[in-house]
């Protein structure tokens, strides 16, 4: 789950990047509005955490451009401005949620998960496909009722496949959603993780579309 | 004035009534003495008249009388008595109320005498043949009674009129003081948070300055409270981000599984605490410098000496960052002010300069004299401040964004306030080399 963090305060940005990574997010951190704009244009984010008082380009301006361009990515505003009119302005400009500093890291993560879940049209926080049950908040997976031990990357990969069940995801799309800038990626990393997942689950649950990518078939009856 | 204060109304009423009473009493006393004099003259004339009537009646007939008691015809006749003495020695005739001995030793004209302990006014006259001495007398008491009655006639109205006067005076005083009472009632009934100015309509000339002063005071209090409120709001707002950073870093440390990760987060917690502490420190410094709260004693100080001292304090930190501080001195001017505050001003300026300087650069501090005025300049080789932002950086909590530094946003506000307290002028400019910020503070020599 790759998210963009736009925060100009060094200490807070550093903490958020580390904290959200602990919660299983891949975090890209930019410290000004223009860099954020570039990041949004170059990558596909599951959600954006946006500060309002930013150098070069304000958070509200970024938000307005984003929505004007038809980008529906969930945006959570994180700001020191707590006046009701500020919240109204932020939400009306296209934000999906609004949190006032200081906030709780776990609440922020939970809200991000909820935003991402809703952006995919799902109300149930747990994902269930073909006997696999994935709980994004608890970061637990079980298969046919038995808990499964997965690494952080394997979990993130399975999460992506389940969220996009029925759709083919390319290796590039997957690695973009799993890895933040600066993460070291082996060229065949995705293939290796897929291989491990198939071994831990059942081989037929993740299908390969040769030359395109991977797919987890949607099971309509579930 | 005693501590409990006094009532203007009561004082006015008492003064008014006392004055009226004194004037009136003086008038009564004057009337008493004046009427006594007039009455004396009148009654003396009557005495003389009576005596001459009696003298004209004396004749040989008296010789046959042994002693005759003249009848009293009217009750009031008692007040006047007469005696007829043959040869001045033998009493031949007298009124009932006259004593047996002579009324007066004098045998001619007016005299005052005391008979049996009673005072008499007497007129004496001889008949034509100097055979009979006629003495007509009147009791002094009688005369005094008449004068007293005249004076009493004046006093009675006063006694009756005084309460009425007092009542009317009180009513008119109350009416006159109504605007003042109105103002004081308006103040009394005010809620403590109501600092709106009092209305000045219909306020008499004497009360207008009071109302104007009160309104000026209200305005000042409003400004002070507004300032305070804004400062508190700003401060709370500014503490949010450092607190959020602290909390996030602390939560990261709690959730960390690797030691390196935990250590990094905890280091950041410490750094965050330092930053928050510095922010609070700066806010306190600034709040102490609020114009209505600052009470300091001005004393002479030496600008170059203070600069040297401040640089000595800050140099180790700067050197650790790989930044040199250079000091240049050009003459000294006697200055007066608050040396502690000048120290804070310099620390803020030099600290800022070091903060925004790159490793290997130099911060230049200069204390010189220009046209007899003292000037302090601090120049760095950092990014400088773009001209459009220079006016804003002195505002509270304003930060130039994107500098990568997490200052309090208060440094230049503090510098501005301290300069203002010294009547000094602060100007921001570009350093001579075309890169970096130059802050110039011009102190007037007599400050």
Supply the CATH number for residue B272's domain.
1.10.287.130
| Smallest CA–CA distance from B274 into chain A, residue | A11
Question: Which residue segment(s) compose the domain that B405 sits in?
Answer: 299-443
The reported pLDDT for the residue numbered B187 is 84
Q: What is the CATH number of the domain that holds B18?
A: 3.30.450
Write down the domain spans for chain A: 2-119, 127-215
- Please indicate whether, in this complex, the C-beta atoms of A15 and B249 are within 8 angstroms of each other: yes
B247 touches chain A (CB under 8 A): yes
Distance separating alpha carbons of residues B121 and B52, to the nearest angstrom:
16
Residues in chain A: 222
Which CATH code of 1.20.200.10, 1.10.4030.10, 1.10.10.10, 1.10.150.120 fits the domain covering A127-215?
A: 1.10.10.10
Q: Clarify whether residues B275 and B379 are in a common domain.
A: no
Residue B184 lies in a domain: no
Is B240 in CB contact (< 8 Å) with chain A?
A: yes
Number of domain units in chain B? 3
Q: State the DSSP H helix or E strand holding residue B184, giving kind and residue range, or none if neither.
A: helix B140-188
Q: Which two tokens stand for residue A203?
A: 């081989």
DSSP per-residue string spanning chain A: -EEEEE---HHHHHHHHHHHHHTT-EEEEE-SHHHHHHHHHHS--SEEEE-SS-SSS-HHHHHHHHHHTT----EEEEES---HHHHHHHHHTT-SEEEESS--HHHHHHHHHHHHHHHTT---SSEEETTEEEETTTTEEEETTEEE---HHHHHHHHHHHHTTTSEEEHHHHHHHH--TT----TTHHHHHHHHHHHHS-GGGSEEETTTEEE----TT-
> What residues contact residue B4 under an 8 Å CB cut-off, 6+ apart?
none
Instruction: Find the residue in A nearest to B242 (Cα).
Output: A12
Q: Is residue B158 part of a domain?
A: no
Question: How many other CB atoms are found less than 10 A from the CB of residue A63?
Answer: 21
pLDDT of residue B230: 77
pLDDT confidence of residue B1: 42
Q: Tokens in use for A212?
A: 């395109």
Write the CATH number for B439. 3.30.565.10
Are residues B337 and B390 located together in one domain of the fold? yes
Closest CA to B137 of B155, B125, B129: B125
Residues B29 and B137 in one domain: yes
- Provide φ and ψ at B50, rounded to 5°: -60, -45
Whether residue B166 lies inside any domain: the answer is: no
Taking the mean position of all CA atoms in its chain, how far away is CA B376?
Answer: 45
Report the pLDDT value the prediction gives residue A57, as an integer from 0 to 100: 84
Written out in words, the top-level CATH class of the domain with range A2-119 is alpha beta
| Residue B183 located in a structural domain | no
Q: What does the radius of gyration of chain A's CA atoms come to, in whole angstroms?
A: 18
- Report residue B330 as tokens: 């050009």
B254: three-class secondary structure by DSSP: helix
Helix axes B8-57, B140-188, angle to 10 degrees: 170
Nearest CA to A13 out of A3, B236, B357 is that of A3
Per-residue pLDDT tens, chain A, 222 aa: give them. 899 999 988 899 999 999 999 998 999 999 888 999 999 998 889 999 999 888 778 889 999 999 999 999 999 999 888 888 888 999 999 999 999 999 999 999 999 999 998 888 776 778 888 889 898 888 889 988 899 888 888 999 999 898 888 889 888 888 888 888 878 777 788 889 999 999 988 888 888 888 888 988 887 544
Same domain, B319 and B425: yes
Q: Pairing state of beta strands B132-139 and B118-126?
A: antiparallel
- Look at residue A221 in the predicted model and tell me its pLDDT: 46
B217 and B142 fall within a common domain: no
Q: What is the pTM of this model?
A: 0.58
Same domain, B42 and B80: yes
Please give the pLDDT value at position B88. 80
Distance between B230 CA and the closest CA of chain A, angstroms: 14
Is the residue at B1 inside a domain? no
In sequence order, the 6+-apart residues with CB closer than 8 A to the CB of A17 are A5, A27, A29
**Enclosing H/E stretch for B352:** helix B339-355
pLDDT digits (tens, 9 = 90+) for B74-107: 766 667 888 888 888 888 888 888 888 888 888 8
Question: Which 3-state string (H, E, C) describes B81-100?
Answer: EEEEEECCCEEEEEECCCCC
DSSP count for chain B of H helices, then E strands? 9, 13
Considering A190-199, B290-299, B381-390, the range whose residues carry the highest mean pLDDT is A190-199
Whether B323 is in a domain gets the answer yes
Residue B253 has pLDDT above 70, yes or no: yes
Q: Which of B259, B288, B317 is the last residue of a domain?
A: B288
B249: tokens are 């870093």
Which of B235, B238, B243, B245 is best to mutate for the A interface (most A CBs within 10 A)?
A: B245
In total, the C-beta contacts within 8 angstroms joining chain A to chain B are: 83
Which residue of A lies nearest to B400 if distances are taken between CA atoms? Answer: A55
**Which segments of B178-323 are extended strands (E)?**
299-301
Contacts of A32 in chain B (CB under 8 A): 401-402
* Residue B248 in this model has a pLDDT that exceeds 80: yes
If asked whether residues B251 and B386 sit together in one domain, one would say no
């Amino acid at each position: 789950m790759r998210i963009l963090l736009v925060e100009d305060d060094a200490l807070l940005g550093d903490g958020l990047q580390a904290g959200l990574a602990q919660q299983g997010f891949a975090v890209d951190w930019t410290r000004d509005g223009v860099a954020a704009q570039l990041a949004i244009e170059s990558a596909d984010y599951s959600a954006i955490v946006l500060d309002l008082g930013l150098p070069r380009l304000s958070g509200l301006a970024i938000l307005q451009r984003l929505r004007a361009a038809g980008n529906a990515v969930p945006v959570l505003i994180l700001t020191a401005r707590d006046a009701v009119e500020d919240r109204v302005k932020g939400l009306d400009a296209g934000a999906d949620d609004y949190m006032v500093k200081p906030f709780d890291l776990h609440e922020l993560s939970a809200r991000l998960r909820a935003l991402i879940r809703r952006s995919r049209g799902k109300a149930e926080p747990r994902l269930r496909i073909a006997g696999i049950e994935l709980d994004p908040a608890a970061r637990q997976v079980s298969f046919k009722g038995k808990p499964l031990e997965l690494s952080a990357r394997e979990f993130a990969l399975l999460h992506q496949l389940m969220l996009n069940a029925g759709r083919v995801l390319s290796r590039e799309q997957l690695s973009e959603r799993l890895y933040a800038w600066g993460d070291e990626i082996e060229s065949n990393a995705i293939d290796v993780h897929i291989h491990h997942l198939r071994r831990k689950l059942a081989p037929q649950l993740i299908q390969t579309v040769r030359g395109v990518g991977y797919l987890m078939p949607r099971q309509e009856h579930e | 004035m005693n501590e409990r204060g006094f009532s203007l109304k009561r004082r006015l009423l008492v003064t008014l009534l006392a004055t009226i009473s004194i004037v009136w009493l003086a008038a009564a006393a004057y009337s008493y003495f004046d009427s006594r004099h007039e009455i004396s003259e009148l009654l003396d004339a009557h005495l003389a008249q009576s005596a001459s009537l009696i003298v004209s009646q004396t004749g040989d007939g008296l010789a046959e009388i042994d002693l005759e008691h003249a009848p009293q015809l009217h009750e009031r006749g008692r007040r006047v008595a007469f005696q007829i003495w043959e040869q001045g020695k033998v009493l031949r005739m007298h009124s009932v109320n006259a004593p047996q001995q002579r009324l007066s030793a004098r045998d001619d004209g007016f005299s005052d005498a005391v008979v049996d302990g009673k005072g008499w006014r007497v007129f004496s006259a001889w008949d034509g043949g100097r055979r009979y001495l006629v003495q007509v007398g009147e009791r002094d008491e009688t005369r005094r009674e008449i004068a007293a009655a005249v004076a009493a006639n004046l006093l009675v109205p006063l006694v009756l009129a005084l309460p009425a006067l007092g009542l009317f005076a009180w009513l008119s005083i109350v009416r006159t003081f109504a605007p003042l009472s109105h103002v004081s009632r308006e103040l009394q009934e005010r809620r403590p948070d109501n600092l709106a100015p009092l209305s000045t309509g219909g306020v008499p000339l004497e009360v207008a300055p009071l109302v104007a002063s009160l309104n000026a005071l209200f305005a000042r209090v409003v400004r002070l409270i507004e300032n305070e409120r804004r400062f508190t709001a700003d401060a709370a707002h500014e503490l949010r981000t450092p607190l959020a950073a602290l909390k996030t870093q602390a939560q990261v440390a709690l959730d960390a599984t690797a030691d390196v990760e935990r250590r990094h987060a905890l280091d950041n917690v410490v750094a965050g605490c330092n930053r928050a502490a510095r922010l609070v420190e700066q806010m306190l410094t600034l709040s102490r410098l609020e114009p209505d709260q600052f009470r300091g004693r001005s004393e002479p100080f030496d600008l170059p000496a203070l600069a040297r001292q401040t640089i000595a304090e800050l140099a180790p930190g700067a050197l650790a960052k790989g930044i040199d501080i250079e000091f240049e001195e050009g003459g000294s001017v006697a200055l007066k002010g608050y040396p502690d505050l000048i120290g804070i001003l310099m620390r803020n300026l030099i600290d800022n300069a070091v903060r925004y300087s790159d490793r290997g650069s130099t911060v230049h501090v200069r204390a010189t004299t220009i046209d007899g005025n003292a000037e302090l300049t601090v120049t760095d080789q950092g990014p400088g401040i773009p001209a459009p932002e220079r006016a804003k950086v002195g505002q509270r909590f304003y930060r130039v964004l994107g500098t990568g530094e997490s200052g309090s946003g208060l440094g230049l506000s503090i510098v501005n306030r301290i300069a203002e307290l010294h009547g000094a002028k602060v100007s921001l400019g570009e350093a001579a080399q075309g890169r970096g910020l130059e802050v110039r503070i011009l102190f007037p020599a007599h400050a």
